Amino acid sequence: MKIFGIIASMNGENSREYQVIKKYVSNEKYKNDDIKIITADSLDIRYCRGCCSCFETGICPLDSIDDMKNIKKDLLEADLIIMSSPVYVHHVSGFMKNLIDRLGYWTHTFHLIGKPVIVCTSTGNSGAEYVISYLKKIMSALGGIVLGEITIDDMTPIEKIEGTFNSINEVVLEFLKEPDCINVSSFQHTLYKSLRMSLIEQSGYEHEYWRENDMFNYFTFKDYLLYRLNLHN
Ligand SMILES: Cc1cc2nc3c(=O)[nH]c(=O)nc-3n(C[C@H](O)[C@H](O)[C@H](O)COP(=O)(O)O)c2cc1C
């Protein structure tokens, strides 16, 4: 299994998120897995220029000059994704927001359909709920199945976070064994339905992506999810 984690902190290996996530993936259960955890300081991700080429063609012109192409590849190949951002002024860090902007068009195509996701944040003392809620929403819009959340703060002892690790591990392993049992969020359900209704009438990249991936044949996100999971199993 491939585990891919992105930590939107410039503190690299000194980042609290990095240290906690490293500890999380060092669990015995993941000992045979291919694990890649990257931090913002090791990446060159340019700002979205707002050209909308990605929505229109599925191609971002910046992918050929920065690290985004490799990030997309790692996300698409991952069996478990960890998305983590420190709280910066009650929201995700600028790096994380920029990364999400560059993935924006995937929220119309559910490119990460069915991938289990863990979201994580690190905070001084406030704003964690906004970051967790935002990361959950975006990862769901990308098609991911958010199975766990980790909040790191000054007050929480590491033993308590380890308790969270154990409960997340159980949910993740259960999902990998029996993905069909998953409950999709009402947000994913509504998003899928409204995109399906508008894209079926249109032409262009997004319509073609939906057509090529048989998405118009499925009326609900859950039906499409099950179809894709069965294809992959
Ligand atoms: C620009 C900036 C803004 C921050 N804003 C907040 C904030 O709004 N609330 C908060 O509790 N902590 C805030 N912090 C503190 C960070 O969330 C905290 O240091 C975090 O644990 C860093 O995570 P890391 O060690 O993984 O980089 C801010 C830090 C920076 C650098």
pLDDT in tens, 154-210: 888 777 888 888 899 889 888 888 887 888 899 999 999 999 999 999 999 999 999
As for ligand 1, residues whose beta carbon falls within 6 Å of it are: 9, 11, 15-17, 86-90, 122-127
Q: What is the per-residue pLDDT across 134-158, written as a single tens digit (0 to 9) for each? A: 999 999 999 999 999 999 998 887 7
pLDDT higher than threshold 90 for residue 231:
no
Q: Which residues contact 189 (CB under 8 A, 6 or more apart)?
A: 220, 221, 222
Atom of ligand 1 nearest to the CA of 153: 21
pTM for this one? 0.96
Query: Which among 135, 134, 137, 221 is positioned nearest to 182, based on CA atoms?
Result: 221
Query: Which among 194, 97, 80 is positioned nearest to 148, based on CA atoms?
Result: 80
Residue to mutate, 15, 123, 153, ligand 1, most ligand atoms under 8 Å from C-beta: 123
pLDDT higher than threshold 90 for residue 64:
yes
The Å distance, Cα 210 to ligand 1 centre, comes to: 39
Alpha-helical (H) ranges within the chain are: 16-25, 53-57, 68-77, 94-102, 128-141, 158-177, 186-199, 205-212, 221-232
What percent of the chain has a predicted confidence (pLDDT) above 70?
Answer: 99
Widest distance between CA atoms in the chain: 53
The Å distance, Cα 50 to ligand 1 centre, comes to: 28
Token reading at 152: 């790191």
232 — pLDDT class (breaks 50, 70, 90): low
Q: How big is the CA angle at 199 (ends 198 and 202), to the nearest 5 degrees?
A: 100
Atom of ligand 1 nearest to the CA of 154: 21
The Å distance, Cα 128 to ligand 1 centre, comes to: 10
CB hemisphere CA count around 73 (13 angstroms) = 6
Name the β-bridge partners of 3. 35, 80
The Å distance, Cα 84 to ligand 1 centre, comes to: 13
Length of the chain counted residue by residue = 233
pLDDT higher than threshold 80 for residue 1:
yes
- Rounded distance between C-alpha atoms, residue 15 and residue 111, angstroms: 29
Residue 233: its pLDDT value, please? Answer: 47
Residue 160: its pLDDT value, please? Answer: 82
The domains of the chain, with CATH numbers, are 2-182 (3.40.50.360)
Q: What is the per-residue pLDDT across 101-134, written as a single tens digit (0 to 9) for each? A: 999 999 999 999 999 999 999 999 899 999 999 9
Atom of ligand 1 nearest to the CA of 91: 8
Residue 182: its pLDDT value, please? Answer: 81
Q: What is the per-residue pLDDT across 74-109, written as a single tens digit (0 to 9) for each? A: 999 999 999 999 999 999 999 999 999 999 999 999
Q: Determine the average pLDDT of the residues in 17-36.
A: 93
Residue 74: its pLDDT value, please? Answer: 98
Residue to mutate, 21, 82, 89, 152, ligand 1, most ligand atoms under 8 Å from C-beta: 89
The Å distance, Cα 175 to ligand 1 centre, comes to: 32
- Rounded distance between C-alpha atoms, residue 218 and residue 181, angstroms: 18
Atom 7 (ligand 1) nearest CA = 89
The Å distance, Cα 123 to ligand 1 centre, comes to: 5
Q: Determine the average pLDDT of the residues in 50-73.
A: 98
